Amino acid sequence: MAQNENEKEEAKGFDLSRVIEDAKSVITQPVEFYRAMPQIGGFTEPCIFLAVMAVLMGAMTAVLSLFGLGHIGAMAIGFSSLFLFPIMALIGSFIGALIMFVIWKLMGSTKDYEAAYRCVSYASVIYLIMPLVGWIPYLGTIVSLGLGMYLMYIATMEVHGIKQQTAQTAIGILAAVLLLMQLSGEYNARNYQAKMEAVGEKWQKSAEEASKTFEKMAKKGEDMTPEEAGKALGEFLKGMSEAMPEDVKRKMEEAAAEAEAEVKSNE
C-alpha cells in the first residue's frame, strides 16, 4: 500500500499540467502559492518544475538568438541552451538553496533544507521572463533580479515565518549586493564584447592589407630586394601590433622582458 502511494506521488511529480498551474500561481498569486506550498514530499517535484522552466527558457533563448536578441552569453550558446540550461539550473538551484537556507537560518527560520530548496526552485518561474527582458541592457538584469528577490521576500515571510521588517532588511541587502555584482559583470562583459569587435575589425583590415602586400611580393618575385621584403614584412607586423589591445601588448612586452632577464641571469 505504501509503495502504491509512493508511485502515485512520483507520477504526480511528472504531471505537466500541474507544473503549468504552479507556474501560473507563482506569477499571479505568489503570496497564496508560498503560503500553501507543501514543505515536504521530496525533491523530485520541485526539480522537475525547475527543469521544465529551464527547458522553456532555453527554447526561448534559442529562438531569440536567431534574431540577434538575448543576453550576451546566451546568444553565443544558441540552441545548445536547450541542453545546457536545465543542467546548469539544477546544479545552481542546489547551491542557491544552500545559500538561502543559511540566510534563513540566520534570520531565525526553523525550516529544513528541503523547504528552502522548494522556495528557490519554484522561484525559477522567472526563467520565463528572463529571455524576454534579458536583451535590454541593464534593465533586463534589474527586472529579472527584482522579481526573483521579490519571490524570496514572499517566501521568507510565508514559508519561514520571518517578520516583515526583518525580511525587508535582509532580502533588501541581499538584492542590493547581487544587483551590484550582476550589473558590474554585465558592464564588463559588454565593454569586453565591444573591445573584441573593434579588435576584430582592425585585424580584418590588417589581414586585407597583408594580403595585398603578399600579392605585390608574389608579383615582384625575385625582383624584390631583401630590403623591400623586410620593409613589407615590417609594415605587416606593425599593422598587426596596432590591432592588438593595449593590455595584450603590455602583457607580451612584460613576458618578453621576463624572458630576456631570465636568459641574462642564466649567462
Across 201-233, b (16+ Cβ under 10 Å) vs e yields ebeeebeeebeebeeeeeeeeeebeeeeeeebe
Q: Cβ atoms within 10 A of the Cβ of 122, count?
A: 23
Q: Give how far Cα 264 sits from Cα of 253, 257, 261, 267, Å.
A: 17, 11, 5, 5
pTM to 2 decimal places: 0.65
When mean pLDDT is compared across 60-69, 82-91, 251-260, the lowest value belongs to 251-260
Q: What is the DSSP letter of 43?
A: S
Instruction: Report whether 132 contacts 181 (CB < 8 A).
Output: no
**Average pLDDT along the chain:** 77
The tens digit of pLDDT for each residue in 181-232 reads 888 887 787 776 666 656 566 656 655 665 666 566 556 555 555 665 566 5
- Give the pLDDT band of residue 66 (cuts 50, 70, 90): confident
The domain ranges of the chain are 2-162, 194-266
Query: Which among 242, 252, 247, 131 is positioned nearest to 192, based on CA atoms?
Result: 247
Instruction: Report whether 105 contacts 115 (CB < 8 A).
Output: no
More confident residue, 115 or 213: 115
The mean pLDDT value for 68-91 works out to 68
SS3 percent helix, strand, coil of the chain, rounded to 5, is: 85, 0, 15
The mean pLDDT value for 234-244 works out to 58
66 Cβ contact list (under 8 Å, min separation 6): none
Cell of 172: 533588501
